[in-house]
Chains A and B, each alone.
Chain A
């Protein structure tokens, strides 16, 4: 196919394009030693050198080497697609060509963004102040065993370091590292209050959730699962079995317990120890953290990076549960063997679906003070809305029991764990249908008019943060599910001595004249007729349970040093990764 330096005027423009990326990381290789790559489908666009697209701008500047590498430039084929020159890249090119690294981060960030936009049915903004549309990516930012999201700099930065064995470890070539950091940026765009200091769960959520998205993104790639299962097979079976049953896999190795070892630990082993040393080993941990409802209360799991592992373990175990269940319906060959490629496809489908579920759940979470139980109810409800019949995967029941095995119960009061519909009379007549789909002012009008029914605090500062219309396709009937998601927050500035007016206990040692803010919030989900379907709240006050929660949260924040001046969000995220790597704890309550 002929190519040009810039897209001419093609008769038909493609909307998407496939680009080659490293499927997991350069440690995962096939039986010939070739780095396993994959082709991800992302939006096609007219790229400037970088690549610099409509959401992402790669600038390959290495601060440690003081070197700005030339940007990657694409040529275009007849239908306006940028031509992927790395489709058949050798290991040497994958590791040694900065142009491939630029493509890898560009494509993986765009792929993760596209997964979020597909799941949520709308465009997602970055959270930058001033509203920038393009996130900077520095694939070789520094010689350092770290990578992080820096919102102040509107950037994702990836480090590199010399390997213990040979060559260099590039964090920008690790699919799960890139997906993890991109998820931090995306969650920050969707729920910017989730980075505020709050409960131990909220502090842990960003890190744990980013791990979940990263791991499910990896398992959603057939190539990775096939490679891991075949590599593990080669290590475990004798020569004859390998030859005769090359494309088959024994069903005895497809139990939840066996897959925990072969798939989760197997991939962790393939990835090697160097990246795990850099940022902890979420995959290994999720396989090894045996279910127990004791963790949540243990001192050690009050640290965000440790607590996040509970969330990861609950979701990854649900993934294995659904996956093994689905395998029961696959046909057997020679009595007890399954086709390996079909098994891998099934794993990818289950991972892909769970990933979509997990992303959709974000819309159904309260805007502030998230707890794991909120997220579980959000997971169940968001899925129920688009796919009431769960008989194909049995995902909801599996997730619920997996979360419960780690002591996490839904925060909703309904027996099925779903958020309940608001059973209140609401005034719709004074607001207008059309602007309610996009205008914060109009939704605020609605909220203000219905403040009593919605149990909002009349004295508090109230603000509608966002109003997002979204369209999702329901798999059962193929019709679009239209919703509008609005976030509303409330905050009150009080002195510590006034906390008792709200039934909130003052943390021990907190000065009576200390001025602080207490926050509450409400996520409003409107249906396609503009009627309120769900009001997912974490109110400021109103019940003994809410007061008890605010008391616990304030005590945690006080003990965690929240009321001391701190670092920027970027530095906090970077510090969090360092703590993961060094196994550190912060012991705020022991500090002065």
Chain B
């Protein structure tokens, strides 16, 4: 492929109803003499709205129609189910038939960094990076074991629902991961500052990778840090395997029967079980955040438009890029000039860093022509709790988005399967 058009003349962002999930399609118009180029950013859901009932296959069909049977690139922000489940099953088969030229994923998905890889990882990633990938590979098992244990313990309905929801998102999606890996095209695994490869399929478009940082990059901004967090997850994995198997710790020791518990233990035992339930939820939440922080953060420059897609990146991911975006820097100028912002992590409380939000200079209370556009793909009532200030989407954030930007949320899609937003370039 050798595109001859110099730059896009129009740009459309299609935002699909994926419930609690992300599916976005960027369509670049190069004029009548050239075919359009299409980049799919994520395709997944962990919960679709009840009505009208739709499936991932419906979403994939809509993508296929909009791109005319050909995708130029697929961007997979990270491996959570609500971002990749659409690449499995019939929807996955259909998306594979769209023959993308490029699949772009974060460095943590690079098979050369995987624990079973035979070649050494690149110098930018290093052996510590491999340990991280190994830890990530264990996370689905940790989550699954936590769920098994929680069900056996009979944790409260609230804890169980939260665990199940996080579990649905976080448990491995091996079919989707495999399908993406098997796509017969170029695969690029990116990190902050690396090349995305998207320029080759999108003439006249500049794409900067702002995240995720490599471990070396993260360590460079935390001088005193000495912990080895990956080692902690290895421990947690081993503990989870033990717990799920319900092994007796001391097989030869005498035990009391559950049906005849001594009186002096009856107040404490249920409380200890509740404490355990909370611990399991805490572990799964931390895992969920760790995976979110492997998200690709991409900034597209298309003419005068600047579009920011951070996946589910939270502040820990953003931290490195933001440390480089000091006032006067080119990165600061770029971020300040963002015209379209895909709201991070479905609008959770810690995925739109206030430092970043405060940088956006196109925010405005009244709608001037070049006012910031914000796009939120979410489903309220599925994640977090308002009484703890953890609801997703976070009310305070949504209020700010509504007040200072042209705000679109997939929750406003009544029956339509998607909304197409024209982005002035």
A residues in contact (CB < 8 Å) with B: 48, 50, 52, 57, 59, 61-71, 96-99, 136, 138, 140-146, 150, 153, 155, 157, 159-164, 168-169, 273-274, 277-278, 280-281, 284-285, 288-289, 300-301, 306, 561, 564-567, 570-571, 574-575, 578, 580-585, 587, 589-592
Contact = CB atoms under 8 A, between A and B. Distances in A.
Contacts of B349: 591-592
Nearest to B265: A59
A301 B264 CA distance: 44
A580 B105 CA distance: 30
Given A64-B246, A69-B250, A592-B394, A584 B286 contact: yes
A145 B235 contact: yes
A285 B273 CA distance: 34
A267 to B, nearest CB: 17
Interface string B255-286: 11010011011001101111110110011001
Contacts, number: 198
A566 B396 CA distance: 16
Interface in B337-382: 349-350, 352-355
Contacts of B234: 164, 277
Contacts of B255: 67-70
B223 interface: yes
Given A64-B276, A145-B239, A157-B275, A591 B224 contact: no
Contacts of A565: 387-389
A467 B153 CA distance: 43
A161 to B, nearest CB: 4
B50 interface: no
Given A141-B272, A570-B275, A592-B397, A300 B222 contact: yes
Contacts of A67: 248-249, 255
| CB-based closest 4 A-B pairs | A64-B243, A583-B227, A161-B239, A143-B243
Main secondary structure of the interface of A (DSSP, over half): mixed
Nearest to A62: B249
Nearest to A140: B249
11 contacts: A52-B264, A63-B276, A65-B247, A68-B256, A69-B253, A98-B249, A273-B228, A280-B227, A574-B278, A592-B350, A592-B400
Contacts of A153: 268, 271-272, 274-275
Interface in B385-403: 387-389, 394, 396-397, 400
Interface in B195-236: 222-229, 231-236
B153 A285 contact: no
A274 B276 contact: no
Contacts of B232: 145, 277-278, 581-582
B149 interface: yes
A68 B273 CA distance: 12
Nearest to A277: B231
Give the interface centre of A163, A285, A578 by most chain B CB atoms within 10 Å. A578
A161 B353 contact: no
A561 B315 CA distance: 15
B238 interface: yes
Contacts of A155: 268, 271-272, 275
A581 B290 CA distance: 13
B415 interface: no
Contact of A136 (B262, B268, B316, B396): B268
A142 B276 contact: yes
Given A61-B269, A161-B238, A592-B397, A69 B243 contact: no
A579 B92 CA distance: 37
Given A145-B232, A157-B275, A581-B232, A59 B282 contact: no
B258 A68 contact: yes
Contacts of B275: 63, 141, 150, 153, 155, 157, 570
Contacts of A140: 249
Contacts of A150: 275
A581 B350 contact: no
A566 B229 contact: no
A592 B269 contact: no
Given A300-B223, A582-B227, A157 B272 contact: yes
A590 B388 contact: no
Nearest to B393: A592
Give the interface centre of B223, B268, B316 by most chain A CB atoms within 10 Å. B268
A142 B279 contact: yes
A574 B240 CA distance: 18
B147 to A, nearest CB: 13
Nearest to B241: A162
B136 to A, nearest CB: 13
B292 to A, nearest CB: 13
A265 to B, nearest CB: 12
Contacts of A281: 226-227
A48 B354 CA distance: 56
Contacts of A142: 243, 276, 279
Given A67-B255, A162-B242, A578-B282, A168 B352 contact: no
Nearest to A288: B226
